[in-house]
Structure 1
Amino acid sequence: MEEIKINTDYITLDQFLKYVGIVETGGQGKQMILDGLIKVNGNIELKRGKKLRKNDIVNAMGKEYIIK
């Protein structure tokens, strides 16, 4: 599990995907989310504006990330 540090109260899911380099554009992130390829805390997440906060766990592209 990779720890991702953020300096704000939250980061949105689509911003997170760009921040960690999973996608290069917001459009790619949106499509991955709509295709049901991203899990947040074990559940498929379909909202790109989902607010990720500290200790949330994101599964994407076979990797697991925790927000710190």
Structure 2
Amino acid sequence: MIEFKLEGEFIPLIQLLKATSLVQSGGEAQTVVEDGLVKYNGKVDFRKRLKVRVGDVIDFMGQKITVI
């Protein structure tokens, strides 16, 4: 599990995937979200501009990111 310390009110989902090094680029992040490979709090979410906040859990390819 990856714990990501949020430095503000929210972080866009695509930026979170890049910041945790689970993807190499913004384009790759957009593709994995569009393809339904990302779960937001247990449910597949296709929103690229999703605002991830403290307490949210992102699941991608077996890796869980907890936002603290």
The one-letter amino acid of 1:47's match is: R
Paired position in structure 2 for 1:58: 58
Paired position in structure 2 for 1:9: 9
CA RMSD of aligned residues (A): 0.7
CA displacement at 1:3 relative to structure 2: 1.3
| 5+ residue gaps, structure 2 | none
The one-letter amino acid of 1:51's match is: K
The DSSP-based 3-state class of the residue aligned with 2:21 is: coil
* Misfit runs of 4+, over 2 Å: none
Compute the TM-score of the two structures, normalised by the length of structure 1: 0.95
CA displacement at 1:11 relative to structure 2: 0.2
Q: 2:63 & 2:4 partners in 1: Cα distance?
A: 12
CA displacement at 1:2 relative to structure 2: 2.3
Q: State the identity as a percent.
A: 32
The DSSP-based 3-state class of the residue aligned with 2:65 is: strand
Count matched residues: 68
Q: 1:2 & 1:11 partners in 2: Cα distance?
A: 15
| 5+ residue gaps, structure 1 | none
1:2-29 CA-partner distances (Å, limit 9, x unpaired): 2110111100000001000011111000
Q: 2:24 & 2:2 partners in 1: Cα distance?
A: 19
